């Protein structure tokens, strides 16, 4: 191995140090990291000599490369590119005029670049950008920052707004997610409102309709005004609103009550804020105050490694020695158990490297076999909740129909044969929070679960079918009444027949309401029985199922319900993703950004983040057509749910 051949003896499977006879297994990937680590810790002077030789060789190579590149090359003159089409003199002179279409397109593209790259609009005044444009297109003149702010940004925003309005006007039912956020300097405080709906082709879609600045106190009346203005701006009919998914804050609850709209708590918040998790961890002594608890020691290890570049490099070297993929340790927060889970899991993934790293470091907290066993136990306890939290935040596979099945799956995972006080505490805490909301008695959750072909009525008692049947009967009655047309005869041809005239004027000729009701009930019951008689298909995409022409023809009433009740997501994660973008937009380079322009920049940024096709720059709503393969979290849920809940 080059410079190490005189220092070590290389056998078939072993490497022996010539100085101290240290023996180690030969690395399978021919890596020299292990040899360097040995020299650095046991033979420091030798290591310095090796590094000096390495630096000398590098310097010699640089001099050779420099001498070769300094020789003039006569064949480096660039060839003039050929024009795709011949322009006449008039076109060539006017193509970049201020009013020309190409100039407008370039200005629009520049504004899109600024938005999707989270750059400040002041970038148009930078010498670097102006120099770049002058090289590639000397005749294109970059206008002032004010022009791009007042003209181009407004134009893009209005384009987005018009297309969203057109899209929402075709939706039969619309649900919303909402959240609020404040910047680090507290200069910007935003309320988001994201519309979710299922289009005519049974594809779930969403669109940001507001990232409104909150001025004054965050009261219910204030938030109500913001929501009302946003829905009015996008011409959203209140009768179309199905459900608002929000956090459990009392202000948010009062806001939806003032609007007179149904709402539900974000399920991810319920999972993340289960106080019983922290109580259970304290019962195990995991998060006791002081430096002796396992959590305190892990946090101290992470903090020390992050602060020391030398220790960080040493950990990476240990990972290479142990043939573990390079990764950084994660710092958890005791108030959020999911971050604690991530920290524990990362420690377990890097156990060999961390044990090697801690061998010669007395200033670090030490971890013994009991500590590693405790970490493994905690990860096993928290894993069902972590998997569930990740799953419900998925864009494609987590409408509100997953809430009740996932809740029961979590309880089953926690209800293991081995008694554990932490599991029992978590299960009781989750039960209490779910029962307080009455999810299993709420129509929006019950019907959404039943029209999802992955679950149907598997997670309910048989009496819940009455809720579904009632809704189906209402739809069937409406269809029967629309299809019924009274028998009409031309009165002019009755030849004065008094019996025909009496028949036309008699109320007895109208369709009996009882008859309509009987037909509707029969149709609804037959369709429900046919649908529920088939076993749930856990690996199917619910939107793909209802997109099928065969299923739509078999269960037309069920499809109408699916279009409405599957429009609501299980969490408000989509609004949270908006604020991740807001954190990028609001930075040190945008201290003077106004709330109005922030909203427009966010709308454009989200548009570009969620577009699936970069070529279709006019597509402003995300098409969330699910892929044929479910993601890992969805597959995990499918395996967990393979046995129907009783």
3-state secondary structure 124-141: HHCHHHHHHHHHHCCCCC
Of 13, 36, 68, the residue that ends a domain is 68
| 636 pLDDT higher than 50 | no
Who contacts 555 (Cβ-Cβ below 8 Å, separation ≥6)?
527, 530, 531
| 626 pLDDT higher than 50 | no
Give mean pLDDT, residues 508-522: 64
Give mean pLDDT, residues 531-541: 89
Residue 535 counted as domain residue: yes
Separation between Cα atoms, residue 131 and residue 142, nearest integer Å: 10
Which pLDDT value is given to residue 489?
A: 46
| Number of structural domains in the chain | 2
Per-residue model confidence as pLDDT tens digits over 123-178: 999 999 999 999 988 888 899 988 988 888 888 888 888 888 999 999 999 999 98
Structure-model confidence comparison of residues 428 and 530, the more confident one: 530
Which pLDDT value is given to residue 621?
A: 25
Residue 402 confidence class, pLDDT cut points 50, 70, 90: very high
Q: Which uninterrupted H or E stretch holds 14?
A: strand 14-17
Q: Residue 366 to residues 9, 316, 408, 409, 456: CA-CA distances in angstroms? A: 34, 19, 39, 37, 51
Alpha helices in 484-512 (DSSP H): 498-505
Separation between Cα atoms, residue 586 and residue 500, nearest integer Å: 78
| 590 pLDDT higher than 60 | no
Give mean pLDDT, residues 407-421: 77
Of 68, 100, 123, the residue that ends a domain is 68
Q: Residue 451 to residues 124, 534, 548, 612: CA-CA distances in angstroms? A: 52, 12, 14, 28
Max Cα-Cα span within the chain: 127
| 543 pLDDT higher than 70 | yes
Which pLDDT value is given to residue 355?
A: 92
Which pLDDT value is given to residue 462?
A: 81
Of 68, 93, 111, the residue that ends a domain is 68
Which pLDDT value is given to residue 372?
A: 93
Who contacts 510 (Cβ-Cβ below 8 Å, separation ≥6)?
486
| 445 pLDDT higher than 90 | yes
* Proportion of the chain above pLDDT 70, given as a percent: 72
| 406 pLDDT higher than 60 | yes
Which pLDDT value is given to residue 609?
A: 39
Residue 254 counted as domain residue: no
Residue 537 counted as domain residue: yes
Which residue in 402, 388, 393 sits closest to 541, CA to CA?
Answer: 402
List the beta strands (DSSP E) in 199-291.
204-213, 241-246, 263-265
Residue 554 counted as domain residue: yes
Which pLDDT value is given to residue 98?
A: 59
Residue 622 confidence class, pLDDT cut points 50, 70, 90: very low
Question: Within a 10 A sphere around the Cβ of 156, how many other Cβ atoms?
Answer: 20
Which pLDDT value is given to residue 552?
A: 92
Residue 47 confidence class, pLDDT cut points 50, 70, 90: confident
| 550 pLDDT higher than 90 | yes
Which residue in 314, 341, 318, 316 sits closest to 330, CA to CA?
Answer: 341
| 544 pLDDT higher than 60 | yes
Which residue in 510, 400, 495 sits closest to 444, CA to CA?
Answer: 400
* Residue 627: φ, ψ to 5°: -75, 165
| 631 pLDDT higher than 50 | no
Which pLDDT value is given to residue 508?
A: 46
Question: Within a 10 A sphere around the Cβ of 394, how many other Cβ atoms?
Answer: 20
Give mean pLDDT, residues 299-322: 91
Separation between Cα atoms, residue 334 and residue 247, nearest integer Å: 20
Lowest average pLDDT, out of 67-76, 212-221, 438-447, goes to: 67-76
Which pLDDT value is given to residue 183?
A: 66
Are 315 and 309 within 8 A, CB to CB?
A: no
| 494 pLDDT higher than 50 | yes
Give mean pLDDT, residues 345-358: 93
Residue 35 counted as domain residue: yes
Lowest average pLDDT, out of 247-251, 590-594, 621-625, goes to: 621-625
DSSP character string of 77-141: PPPPPPPSS---HHHHHHTTSTTSHHHHHHHHHHHHHHHHTT--GGGGG-HHHHHHHHHH-TTPP
Are 142 and 129 within 8 A, CB to CB?
A: yes
Separation between Cα atoms, residue 165 and residue 617, nearest integer Å: 18
| 49 pLDDT higher than 50 | yes
Lowest average pLDDT, out of 347-356, 490-499, 550-559, goes to: 490-499
Residue 364 counted as domain residue: no
pTM metric for this prediction = 0.69
Q: What range defines the domain where residue 49 resides?
A: 2-68
Question: Within a 10 A sphere around the Cβ of 450, how many other Cβ atoms?
Answer: 27
Which pLDDT value is given to residue 645?
A: 37
Per-residue model confidence as pLDDT tens digits over 606-618: 454 333 333 333 3
3-state secondary structure 330-363: CCCECCEHHHHHHHHHHHHHCHHHHHHHHCCCCC
Residue 63 counted as domain residue: yes
- Kindly tell me the burial class for residue 425, based on how many C-beta atoms sit within 10 Å of its own C-beta (0-12, 13-18, 19 or more): buried
Q: Which structure tokens are listed for 623?
A: 């098409």
DSSP 150: I
Residue 7 counted as domain residue: yes
Residue 599 confidence class, pLDDT cut points 50, 70, 90: low
- For the beta sheet containing 8-10, the strands, ordered from the edge strand earlier in sequence to the opposite edge, are 8-10, 14-17, 23-25
Who contacts 458 (Cβ-Cβ below 8 Å, separation ≥6)?
405, 536, 644, 645
């Amino acid at each position: 191995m080059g410079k190490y051949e005189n220092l070590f003896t290389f056998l078939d499977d072993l490497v022996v140090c010539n100085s101290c006879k240290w023996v180690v297994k030969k690395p399978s990937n021919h890596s020299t990291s292990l040899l360097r680590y040995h020299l650095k810790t046991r033979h420091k002077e030798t290591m310095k000599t090796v590094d000096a030789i390495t630096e000398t060789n590098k310097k010699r190579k640089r001099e050779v490369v420099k001498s070769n590149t300094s020789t003039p090359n006569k064949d480096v003159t660039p060839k003039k590119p050929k024009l795709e089409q011949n322009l006449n003199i008039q076109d060539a002179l006017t193509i970049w005029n201020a009013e020309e279409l190409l100039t407008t397109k370039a200005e629009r593209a520049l504004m899109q670049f600024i938005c999707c790259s989270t750059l400040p609009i002041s970038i148009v005044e930078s010498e670097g950008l102006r120099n770049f444009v002058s090289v590639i297109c000397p005749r294109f003149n970059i206008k002032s920052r004010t022009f791009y702010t007042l003209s181009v940004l407004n134009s893009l925003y209005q384009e987005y707004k018009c297309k969203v309005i057109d899209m929402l006007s075709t939706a039969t039912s619309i649900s919303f997610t909402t959240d609020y956020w404040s910047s680090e300097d507290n200069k910007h405080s935003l309320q988001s409102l994201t519309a979710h709906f299922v289009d005519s082709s049974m594809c779930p879609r969403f669109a940001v309709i507001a990232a409104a600045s909150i001025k004054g106190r965050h009261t219910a009346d204030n938030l109500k005004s913001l929501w009302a203005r946003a829905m009015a701006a996008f011409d959203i009919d209140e009768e179309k609103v199905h459900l608002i998914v929000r956090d459990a804050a009392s202000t948010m609850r009062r806001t939806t009550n003032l609007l007179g709209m149904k709402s539900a708590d974000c399920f991810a918040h319920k999972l993340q804020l289960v106080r019983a998790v922290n109580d259970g961890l304290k019962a195990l002594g995991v998060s006791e105050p002081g430096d002796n608890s396992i959590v305190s020691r892990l946090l101290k290890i992470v903090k020390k490694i992050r602060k020391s570049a030398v220790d960080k490099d040493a950990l990476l070297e240990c990972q290479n020695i142990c043939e573990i993929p390079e990764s950084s340790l994660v710092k958890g927060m005791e108030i959020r158990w999911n971050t604690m889970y991530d920290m524990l899991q990362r420690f377990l993934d890097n156990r060999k490297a961390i044990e090697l790293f801690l061998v010669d470091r007395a200033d670090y907290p030490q971890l013994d076999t009991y500590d590693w066993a405790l970490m493994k136990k905690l990860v096993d306890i928290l894993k069902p909740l972590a998997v569930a939290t990740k799953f419900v935040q998925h864009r494609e596979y987590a409408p509100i129909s997953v809430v009740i099945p996932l809740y029961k799956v979590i309880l089953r995972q926690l209800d293991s044969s081995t008694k554990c006080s932490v599991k029992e505490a978590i299960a009781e805490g989750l039960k209490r929070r779910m029962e307080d909301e009455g999810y299993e008695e709420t129509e929006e959750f019950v019907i959404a679960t039943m029209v999802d072909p992955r679950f149907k009525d598997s997670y309910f008692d048989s009496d819940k079918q009455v809720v579904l049947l009632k809704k189906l009967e209402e739809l069937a009655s409406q269809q029967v009444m629309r299809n019924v047309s009274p028998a009409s005869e031309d009165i002019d041809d009755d030849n004065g027949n008094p019996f025909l005239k009496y028949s036309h004027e008699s109320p007895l000729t109208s369709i009996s309401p009882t008859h309509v009701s009987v037909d509707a009930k029969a149709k609804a019951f037959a369709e429900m029985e046919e649908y529920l008689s088939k076993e749930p298909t856990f690996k199917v995409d619910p939107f793909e199922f209802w997109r099928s022409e065969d299923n739509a023809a078999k269960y037309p009433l069920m499809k109408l319900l699916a279009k409405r009740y599957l429009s609501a997501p299980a969490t408000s994660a989509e609004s949270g993703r908006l604020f991740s973008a807001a954190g990028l937009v609001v930075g040190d380079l945008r201290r003077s950004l106004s709330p109005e322009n922030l909203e427009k920049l966010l709308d454009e940024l989200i548009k570009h983040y969620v577009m699936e096709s970069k070529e279709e720059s006019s597509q402003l709503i995300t098409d969330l057509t699910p892929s044929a393969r479910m993601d890992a979290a969805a597959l995990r849920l499918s395996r967990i749910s393979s046995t129907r809940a009783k």
